[in-house]
A and B are shown apart, each in its own frame.
Chain A
């Protein structure tokens, strides 16, 4: 069986006619792919609007590519050996609340209304610390994410400031809505930032004073 396979391979490799056919096949395959790409790109077939969601296949491929890209590239990052301090968390909070909360929200804190209009939509980060190691969070925050509107904050933040943000993200699972609002007050930041605006965060009308909920059945 195995020797038969070897013989077939040997026959293939030593036959100029078969090799030529194979190369012709590969070449025409590549040409077809190139032509297909040109048709899709030049023909405007890819729907680049943010108002339509990615197809499930594209979403899965892009999301997985992003996760793997971070996991592989963050391997070289060296996290500080000392545990994060309360001062780092507080400094990280100030930066997060000013620069990140509009897109990512907070515990019980909605994102800005327009964040729902982004594709992919920026996630809430309550459990980012469970999904990523500190080195990976540092990498994502510092380097940003292509085609998601996530900026590379390393362009405008120092290394220490990036680690402050990581310290805050690591602390976030333990921060309640009440804690977060208290931190806002302590930092002198507006308490009601990102409260649902008149238009509604997802384009809906602002809710009227809530009716009493049903009690049963």
Chain B
């Protein structure tokens, strides 16, 4: 009985170790592939003010975001890892300037898309952009 159990355990250890190694490798890769800082360093905008504005503008009704209460909408793309996104709305390269432009004029970038022009000022759009780039 006991020897059976011991054998069982040893056969389970190897795949378990393998899975652990793969998982940690994946996690490590994830850490290494994060060239986020330079993109929005010295860009201006305050992530904390951005979080308040995101709440006020009801962004979470359509977008899933981390750190915003109730932000679990599934109308638009999730924004939890926005800093790693390549394109904005599929048409603009993801640069800080383009993000501010998109946040202020989504209907000018993709006419008829479901994201409204909510009338953000440049400073407000910068704060929201700062929050989106700061999310991990």
Contact = CB atoms under 8 A, between A and B. Distances in A.
B113 to A, nearest CB: 6
B125 to A, nearest CB: 8
Q: How large is the interface on B (under 10, 10 to 19, 20 to 34, 35 or more residues)?
A: 35 or more
Interface stretch (A5-13, A27-35, A195-203): A195-203
B54 to A, nearest CB: 10
A83 interface: no
B121 A216 contact: no
A210 B104 contact: yes
B12 to A, nearest CB: 33
A202 B61 contact: no
Contacts of A196: 117-119
Interface string B96-121: 01100110110111001111111111
B58 A111 contact: yes
Interface stretch (A18-26, A118-126, A136-144): A118-126
A60 interface: yes
A214 B129 CA distance: 15
B101 A63 contact: no
B24 interface: no
Interface stretch (B3-11, B14-22, B25-33, B70-78): B70-78
B42 to A, nearest CB: 15
Contacts of B69: 54, 56, 59-60, 63
Nearest to B39: A217
Contact of B58 (A54, A107, A109, A122): A122
A215 B119 contact: no
A127 to B, nearest CB: 5
B123 interface: yes
B95 A116 contact: no
B75 A126 contact: yes
Interface string B59-101: 0111000000110011100000000000000001101011001
Contact of A116 (B57, B60, B70, B122): B57
A99 interface: no
Contacts of B120: 200-202, 204, 207
B56 A116 contact: yes
A127 B62 contact: yes
Contacts of A123: 58, 60-61, 73
B74 A201 contact: no
A158 interface: no
A205 B117 CA distance: 13
A47 B70 CA distance: 21
A175 to B, nearest CB: 9
A126 B61 contact: yes
Contacts of A211: 101
5 contacts: A59-B70, A110-B116, A127-B61, A177-B113, A197-B119
